Amino acid sequence: MSRRKSSAERISYLLNLLMAGMYAAGGLTLFFWKLPSMSDKDRYLLGGVLLAYAVYRFIKLHMRNKNAQNEN
């Protein structure tokens, strides 16, 4: 018998997914949008850090979702 997700769990999942997507979008934006106030090195470094953090959040979210499904 599977347990339905509560509304709070769904909202938490969607907000985490949204934030991971925003970190990825921010990282890609820094990679491809030239900012006059930042050097290329700093821009690529910050973009890479944001992309790595977005990947970490996606993996963490996927693992939590997978573990919740295995418990049911």
CA angle in degrees (0–180, nearest 5) for 67-69-72? 110
pLDDT 10s digit of each residue in the chain, 72 long?
456 778 888 899 999 999 999 999 999 999 999 989 999 999 999 999 999 999 999 999 989 888 877 776
Two tokens, residue 34: 């030239």
Q: Calculate the dihedral angle through the C-alpha atoms of 6, 19, 59, 47, rounding to the nearest 10 degrees.
A: 180
What predicted TM-score, i.e. pTM, was given to this entire model?
Answer: 0.82
Kindly report the number of other CB atoms within 10 A of residue 63's CB atom.
10
